């Protein structure tokens, strides 16, 4: 357990595929938040977490990040419910019976400093999380958004959720542009992934250049999606 920034702690583990995995603890007056990634090395630090105020809620980006034994252990120790997008409910229910709260496509705000933003990619209910503290703004991106060799990869090239969700003949897949617009409106100082592979950064601190390139990449995705929607 390491202190990265004021009120932000990180637990570092590894996957069977030699990925580096990060779980985050956000310490805040309205209740601490844990963002677990699979079976991170959290349980051995329960006493330290309790001294920091415990855990009020666990937020996962999608079902791939859920290790049932871990989230249940956190719930048993601190009473922390598991929170995620409703599209992940069935997949997560297969992994854990932990008491849960779900949100919809509108996302969820927790106090004035933290919000969940629906941002489907590899899973129909994938979400990102934004937290502000001490004048700094953090975007927790799972493996969806990464800066790779100077280029932003935002995980939305195909908007896979168009095929992940089942739509009847009378239904139309939702327009993804509002979700992209939500990200474009955010203040950002850091992206905080929960997976790092090869020589990827463990987290990214925006410079003027990378912030500009990030929003340009979003603009390009919005334009591509607008063209796609018009052609449907």
pLDDT, one tens digit per residue, over 45-71 is: 999 999 999 999 999 998 888 889 999
Identify the band that residue 231 occupies on the pLDDT scale cut at 50, 70 and 90.
Answer: low
Whole-model pTM: value is: 0.88
Classify burial at 133, counting beta carbons within 10 Å of its beta carbon; exposed 0-12, middle 13-18, buried 19 or more: middle
pLDDT, one tens digit per residue, over 64-119 is: 888 899 999 999 999 999 999 998 999 999 999 999 999 998 999 999 999 999 88
For residue 176, pLDDT over 70 is answered with no
CB atoms within 10 A of CB 56: 17
Which residue would you say has higher pLDDT here, 168 or 155? 155
Sign of torsion over alpha carbons 15, 159, 131, 200: positive
State the pLDDT at residue 174: 56
* Closest among 157, 158, 153 to 201, alpha carbons compared: 153
For residue 161, pLDDT over 70 is answered with no
State the pLDDT at residue 155: 60
State the pLDDT at residue 169: 45
Instruction: Check: CB of residue 87 under 8 Å from CB of residue 124.
Output: yes
State the pLDDT at residue 149: 76
Which residue would you say has higher pLDDT here, 73 or 123? 73
* Closest among 135, 227, 147, 159 to 192, alpha carbons compared: 147
């Amino acid at each position: 357990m390491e202190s990265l920034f004021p009120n932000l702690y990180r637990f570092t583990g590894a996957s069977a595929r030699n990925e580096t995995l990060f779980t985050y603890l956000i310490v805040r007056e309205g209740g601490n938040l844990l963002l677990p990634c699979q079976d991170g090395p959290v349980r051995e630090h329960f006493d330290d977490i309790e001294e920091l105020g415990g855990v009020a809620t666990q937020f996962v980006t999608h079902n791939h990040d859920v290790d049932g034994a871990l989230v249940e252990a956190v719930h048993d120790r601190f009473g922390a419910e598991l929170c995620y997008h409703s599209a992940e409910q069935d997949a997560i229910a297969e992994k854990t019976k932990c008491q849960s709260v779900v949100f919809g496509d509108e996302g969820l705000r927790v106090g004035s400093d933290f919000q969940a933003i629906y941002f489907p990619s590899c899973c129909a209910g994938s979400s990102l999380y934004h937290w502000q503290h001490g004048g700094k703004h953090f975007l927790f991106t799972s493996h969806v958004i990464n800066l790779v060799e100077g280029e932003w990869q935002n995980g939305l090239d195909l908007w896979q959720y168009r095929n992940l969700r089942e739509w009847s003949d009378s239904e139309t897949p939702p327009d993804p542009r509002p979700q992209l617009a939500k990200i474009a409106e955010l203040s950002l100082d850091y992206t905080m992934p929960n997976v790092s592979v090869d020589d990827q950064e463990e987290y990214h601190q925006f410079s003027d250049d990378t912030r500009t390139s990030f929003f340009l990449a979003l603009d390009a995705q919005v334009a591509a999606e607008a063209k796609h929607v018009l052609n449907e």
